[in-house]
């Protein structure tokens, strides 16, 4: 909360404007009351003619108009403040999420993050647009009114001083109760968003397992939980308005009663003074009451404010980059992995003390059971994850010394499920290389990746829209698009997560041909499942539970490492080669 408050108070100009408008509003309230009383006094008690009240009447109208203007200007400034702070918070969140997009997307919970950036940030609106401006108003306006009242005989002022604290006291009591409820409401909201998105993304799986109906129930429940939580907050809100209304009405009544007794019984106050105080009293309580409502909506935002503060405070590993430029088309690197350890923020998986040397042009296969850390190692080599300890060196320089952009122009990472952006096939291939690549080059890359057949069968050919907004592609086709990207890019290091499923003969041939063509100019590291890749590798890294159990050529490992032999035989038996 403090962090966000600081953000608001750091906007000096806005703060100055808010204070200025509050002072002006205070002054205008006093002048308005003065002229109102003066006119009534002149007309009813002194029986003045219309001519005599023309001027005060004109001033009163002008002052009323000014009050509206100042109120409007104050509100506007508040709204501007809120939109500035919201933009700043969103930017900070985006920068945070973008600083390490891989870690962010690998750790999942996209729904929760979207809900933080969109809904939670919107929720903090009232904290800045009404709560903070109102605090400033209430710190100024009642004090100005009180000063004016104290220029008159003192009892009423004292009464105001005594009754005023009841408003904030009730406010605080109610506010504390609401905060928990508001936090609860935010939690329900986040749970609902997360749940909804998860279900949308996993719809196919749910349908296949016949769970769609149950999930409908689950969505219903989580949305009605959210509704109930909202209703709870509203209930307290309405109740608190009622209470505050009650307190201020009672206090005004008390002051009116006191004035009446002094005017009629003791006759120790003039009509002018009494009426002046009576006119000011409602305004005095009004601004306290307004603080009450603003405080309440501000409290309602506290849940969201807290959520954002927590999100901002959450440390995520970031990847550091240097300034060493790698010219395009650099020769394939030698890779040195020294004492590398890695642990995920969540869960208890870790890679333990890896030491590996990979020579330029070498073909390395990473093998091991599921969950042994093969993909994690590939991500670390790619520079998508930062090792918790140890060194990764490329050509005798640390990975972190290289410039980020030129590093990634040297690498092609072909994952199991490459991402397709919404756009045409050509556009999707083109992002692999310079965006200025000619259509000819793109077509050539597609051909080398074995996409020609598929492209020819499409009505719009290479200009067919794919991805989110277009035609879907099969897993194998997606990988071929990724291969085409690699052909266009001509990387010096290729990281390849092989498909786990058995491949048909055609795909197998394409893969084989593509990889041997690509590996002519690069160092290749593959998470391998096919016997072809494994046998052909210059070096095999056999991982188990995050530990490098053995490293060497296929023949050596088959002879010396029983576990490796068993794994290869099991795969052969299952026909995954």
Contact with ligand ADP (CB under 6 A): which of 52, 106, 256, 391?
106
Provide, rounded to whole angstroms, the least separation between the CB of residue 377 and ligand ADP: 7
Query: Are residues 341 and 352 in contact, defined by beta-carbon separation less than 8 angstroms?
Result: yes
Closest to ligand ADP by CB, 367 or 426: 367
| By CB under 6 A, residue 314 contacts ligand ADP | no
What CA–CA distance (Å, rounded) separates 341 from 266?
Answer: 89
Q: Which is nearer to ligand ADP, 110 or 179 (CB)?
A: 110
Applying CB under 6 A, which of residues 166, 321, 344, 532 lies at the interface with ligand ADP?
A: 344
Q: What are phi and psi of 430, to 5 degrees?
A: -60, -30
Q: How far, CA to CA in Å, does 287 sit from each of 1, 69, 74, 136, 297?
A: 24, 17, 13, 11, 15
Give the burial class of 299: count Cβ atoms within 10 A of its Cβ; 0-12 exposed, 13-18 middle, 19 or more buried. Answer: buried
Among 133, 157, 194, 373, indicate the residue that binds ligand ADP (CB under 6 A): 373
User: Does 374 help bind ligand ADP (rule: CB under 6 A)?
Assistant: yes
What whole-number distance in Å separates Cα of residue 145 and Cα of residue 152?
A: 12
Q: Does 376 bind ligand ADP (CB under 6 A)?
A: yes
Of positions 210, 327, 347, 573, contacts ligand ADP by CB under 6 A? 347
DSSP classification of residue 460:
T
User: Minimal distance in Å, beta carbon 573 to ligand ADP?
Assistant: 20
| Shortest Å, Cβ 522 to ligand ADP | 22
The answer to whether 346 contacts ligand ADP (rule: CB under 6 A) is yes
371 binds ligand ADP (CB under 6 A): yes
Question: Any contact of residue 97 with ligand ADP (CB under 6 A)?
Answer: no
CB of 524 to ligand ADP, least distance (A): 17
Q: In what order do the strands lie in the sheet with 493-497?
A: 397-398, 389-394, 335-343, 350-358, 547-552, 539-544, 363-367, 523-527, 493-497, 411-414
CB of 523 to ligand ADP, least distance (A): 20
Q: Could you tell me the smallest distance in angstroms from the CB atom of residue 379 to ligand ADP?
A: 8
In the beta sheet, which residues pair with residue 493? 411, 523
Determine the Cα–Cα distance for residues 98 and 104; give it in Å rounded to an integer.
8
Angle between helices 155-163 and 212-260 (to 10 degrees): 160
Interacting stretch for ligand ADP, rule CB under 6 A, among 54-62, 154-162, 369-377, 561-569? 369-377
Rounded least distance, CB 384 to ligand ADP, Å? 11
Can residue 2 be called a binding residue for ligand ADP (CB under 6 A)? no
In whole angstroms, give the CA distance from residue 339 to residue 242: 67
Beta partners for residue 335, in sequence order: 358, 394
State how far the Cα of 367 lies from the Cα of 564, in Å rounded to an integer.
9
Q: Which residue has the tokens 């689950």?
A: 218
Tell me which stretch binds ligand ADP (CB under 6 A): 258-266, 365-373, 479-487, 531-539. 365-373
Give residues in contact with ligand ADP (CB under 6 A).
106-107, 344, 346-347, 349, 368, 370-376
């Amino acid at each position: 909360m403090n962090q966000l408050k600081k953000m608001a108070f750091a906007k000096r100009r806005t703060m100055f404007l808010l204070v200025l408008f509050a002072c002006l509003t205070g002054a205008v309230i006093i002048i308005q009351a003065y002229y109102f009383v003066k006119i009534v006094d002149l007309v009813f008690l002194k029986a003045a003619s219309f001519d005599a009240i023309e001027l005060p009447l004109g001033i009163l109208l002008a002052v009323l108009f000014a009050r509206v203007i100042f109120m409007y200007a104050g509100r506007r400034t508040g709204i501007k403040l809120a939109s500035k702070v919201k933009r700043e918070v969103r930017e900070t969140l985006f920068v945070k999420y973008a600083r390490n997009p891989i870690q962010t997307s690998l750790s999942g919970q996209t729904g929760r993050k979207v809900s933080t950036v969109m809904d939670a940030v919107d929720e903090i609106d009232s904290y800045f647009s009404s709560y903070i401006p109102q605090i400033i108003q209430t710190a100024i306006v009642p004090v100005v009114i009180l000063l004016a009242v104290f220029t008159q005989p003192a009892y009423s002022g004292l009464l105001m001083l005594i009754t005023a604290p009841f408003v904030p006291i009730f406010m605080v009591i109610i506010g504390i109760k609401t905060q928990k409820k508001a936090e609860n409401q935010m939690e329900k909201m986040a749970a609902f968003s997360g749940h909804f998105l998860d279900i949308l993304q996993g719809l196919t799986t749910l349908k296949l397992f016949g769970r769609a109906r149950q999930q409908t129930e689950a969505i219903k429940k989580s949305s009605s939980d959210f509704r109930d939580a909202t209703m709870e907050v509203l209930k307290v809100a309405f109740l608190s308005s009622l209470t505050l209304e009650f307190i201020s009405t009672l206090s005004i009544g008390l002051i009116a009663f006191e004035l009446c007794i002094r005017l009629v019984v003791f006759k120790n106050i003039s009509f002018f003074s009494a009426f002046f105080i009576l006119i000011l009293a409602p305004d005095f309580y009004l601004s306290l009451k307004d603080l009450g409502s603003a405080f309440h909506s501000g409290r309602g935002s506290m849940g969201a404010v807290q959520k954002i503060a927590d999100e901002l405070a959450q440390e995520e590993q970031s990847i550091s980059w240097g300034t060493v430029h790698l010219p395009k088309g650099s020769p394939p690197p030698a890779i040195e992995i020294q004492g590398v350890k890695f642990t995920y923020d969540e869960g208890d998986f870790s890679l333990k003390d890896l030491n590996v040397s990979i020579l330029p042009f070498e073909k390395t296969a990473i093998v091991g059971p599921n969950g042994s850390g093969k993909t994690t190692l590939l991500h670390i080599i790619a520079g998508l994850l930062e090792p918790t300890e140890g060194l990764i060196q490329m050509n005798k320089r640390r990975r972190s010394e290289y410039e980020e952009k030129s590093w990634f122009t040297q690498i092609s990472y072909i994952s199991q499920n490459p991402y397709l952006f919404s756009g045409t096939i050509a556009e999707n291939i083109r992002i692999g290389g310079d965006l200025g690549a000619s259509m000819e080059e793109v077509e050539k890359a597609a051909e080398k990746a074995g996409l020609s057949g598929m492209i020819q069968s499409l009505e719009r050919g290479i200009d067919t829209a794919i991805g989110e907004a277009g035609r879907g592609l099969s897993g194998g086709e997606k990988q071929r698009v990724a291969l085409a990207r690699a052909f266009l890019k001509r990387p010096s290091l290729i990281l390849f997560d092989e498909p786990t499923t058995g491949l048909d003969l055609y795909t197998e041939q394409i893969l084989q041909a593509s990889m041997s063509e690509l590996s002519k100019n690069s160092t290749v590291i593959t998470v391998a499942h096919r016997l072809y890749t494994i046998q052909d590798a210059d070096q095999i890294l056999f991982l188990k539970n995050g530990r490098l159990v053995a490293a060497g050529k296929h023949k050596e490992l088959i002879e010396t490492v029983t576990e490796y032999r068993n794994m290869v035989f099991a795969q052969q038996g299952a026909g995954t080669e």
